[in-house]
Structure 1
Amino acid sequence: MTINAIIVDDEEYSRKSLYFLLEVHCPNVKIKGIAKSVSEAKGMLLAGNIDLVFLDIAMPIEDGFYLLPDIQKVNSSVIFTTAYDQYGLKALKANAIDYILKPIDIEELKQAVEKAIYLRKLTLNNLRGSESRNTKLQNLEENLNDLKKINKINLPNSNGFQILNVNQIVYVSADSNYSIFYLDNKESIIVSRHLKEYQELLEKSGFSRIHKSTIINLKHLSDYTNKNGLIVKLSDNSEHVVSRRRSSEFLDTVRHYFKR
């Protein structure tokens, strides 16, 4: 199945880079236009027959969210592409197919396009009446749950930001208004944001908050014991207390995680 798409981004390099990646790695996507702004993209949408929009968020005058009503009018789908991870939750709430951080990872792009094609087929089948409403809702719910998982996260610093694969993170601890990320290479990164923000971002990606001041990556969990209190040990040999208030939820999360 071939789908028609447009690229909307104010940066020339980003437009050209994404176009090249799609041409080489996603032959099922036919680029029908490239826009530098929301107003330019509106004209392309009105021209018709656009199935998918690759949409940057942080653009001057009007950000990408201003284009959403026009995208919805023509029943197109959205894949957000941006360098700013703080837009992630808002993007997901806007029912985007996916949300990709720049610089764009080829595998993430291919997966996002596969989702777009799948949902396009789902929509067409539904219009033909070949799929029940309950099945459609179930598939859509599973897809949206999957979108809440993130593979990368960017951590702001005084010079810009640093992009991490979430698998690099062993645990995150709170220190007043700061969050400290401890990585599998023994490095640590301090970010001036509350731990709760990162809990919301990471909880669908295999992380569990075990204490008011600690989030752990279950991928790095190596041991758990209640012999002398509730204690977990991680791959870096660090040990952490699981609060009694969170112990039941933690155990349920662990069981579900290792059943996958």
Structure 2
Amino acid sequence: MIKVVLIDDEKNALEMLEWQLQTYCPQVEIVALANTADKGIDAIQRHTPQLIFLDIEMPKKNGFEVLQAFASPSFDVIFTTAYDQFALKAFRFAALDYLLKPIDAGDLVNALKRYERKVQGNFKQQLDILMQQYQHPGTQPEKISFATQQAVHFVKPETILYGESDGNYTTLFFLDNTKLMVSKTLKEVEEVLVPYQFLRIHNSFLINLKHVSRYIKADGGSVEMVGGAQLPISRQRKDAVMQILNV
């Protein structure tokens, strides 16, 4: 059984989440419910849960202040939030899980499945990235978190040459000739990397514009990246790519 604590100042949301977990997630044991941040901190200290569901916006203390009460958290977190799409970018940067309110039962079940197959990452470093985005929205963190099947990796975007789609995964290729398969679709990677001057040139390729060495006109158009990789430009995206590359 997965020991779980639920923390949310909204009574209806707390009771609904409790009911959904009891109904759809039999692997979960709810050991405490808390409707304030301080009660949540106390519940975590008393019950040492493996996982907490944590609301962000609460009176007096928010969800981040709950986490700051623990120097080295021994639990995982699934955030529950009513944030808009812009603010959710922070969670993507940090590769942390979240559920949008009102919580859909299918999304909840999938979040538990992701937790069960997750390899423990550096939660503190992921939280630091999230806090930076929360406190300074619109800024780009120096490093971004990418989860693989084995670990969570912290990557400087400027070291990425390009990404290539591989079904529900994406392979990232780096300046040092290494590569990394991450547990995100290319579309999800694109949403995170666009602020760092990345451009989708094809259904299968996302490139770092800083590392384009030349544009090749032959065969419908392609770009050559630093290091020599040549990547095709799709017909639908060609005009936009040429305009951005000023060719």
Shorter chain as denominator, the TM-score bin is 0.5 to 0.7
| Cα shift at 1:150 | 8.7
Per the alignment, residue 114 of structure 1 pairs with 113
Mapped to 1, the partners of 2:187 and 2:52 lie a distance apart of: 20
Give the secondary-structure state (helix, strand or coil) at the position aligned to 1:107.
helix
> Measured at CA, do residues 58 and 87 of structure 1 come closer, stay the same or move farther in structure 2, by a change above 3 Å?
farther
Query: Secondary structure of the residue that 1:80 maps to in structure 2?
Result: strand
CA distance in 1: counterparts of 2:185 and 2:9, whole angstroms: 26
Matched, 1:242 2:240: yes
Gaps in structure 2 of 5+ consecutive residues = 121-146, 154-168, 170-180, 205-218, 222-232
Q: What's 1:70 paired with?
A: 69
Relative to structure 1, is the Cα distance of residues 8 and 240 closer, same or farther in structure 2, using a 3 angstrom cutoff?
farther
Counterpart secondary structure, 1:78: strand
Q: Which runs of 5+ in 1 are unaligned?
A: 124-135, 152-197, 211-215, 220-224, 234-238, 248-260
Q: What is the alpha-carbon distance in structure 1 between the residues aligned to residue 33 and residue 185 of structure 2?
A: 28
The alignment status of 1:81 with 2:118, answered yes or no, reads no
Paired position in structure 1 for 2:2: 3
- Does the alignment pair 1:90 with 2:90? yes
Q: CA deviation at 1:89?
A: 3.7
Report if aligned partners of 2:190, 2:200 keep a CA contact under 8 Å in 1.
yes
Supply the distance in 2 between the matched residues of 1:55 and 1:47 (Cα, whole angstroms): 17
- Letter aligned with residue 243 of structure 1: V
CA distance in 2, matches of 1:108, 1:241: 38
Number of matched pairs: 164
Partner of 2:183: 146
User: Structure 2 counterpart of 1:90, which letter?
Assistant: A
Asked whether the equivalents of residues 232 and 242 of structure 1 are also in contact (C-alpha less than 8 Å), the reply is no
Residue in 1 that maps onto 2:161: none
Matched to 1:13, the amino acid is: N
Please, what is the CA RMSD of the aligned residues? Answer: 4.0
CA distance 1:93–1:40, change in 2 (3 Å) = farther
Shift of 1:202: 8.1
Distance 1:68 1:113, change over 3 A: same
Shift of residue 116, structure 1, vs aligned partner: 1.9
Q: Distance in 1 between matches of 2:186 and 2:57?
A: 22
Asked whether the equivalents of residues 53 and 79 of structure 1 are also in contact (C-alpha less than 8 Å), the reply is: yes
Within the alignment, does 1:99 sit opposite 2:98 as a pair?
yes
Q: Normalized against structure 1, the TM-score is what?
A: 0.50
Paired amino acid for 1:139: Q
**Aligned residue in 2 for 1:177:** none
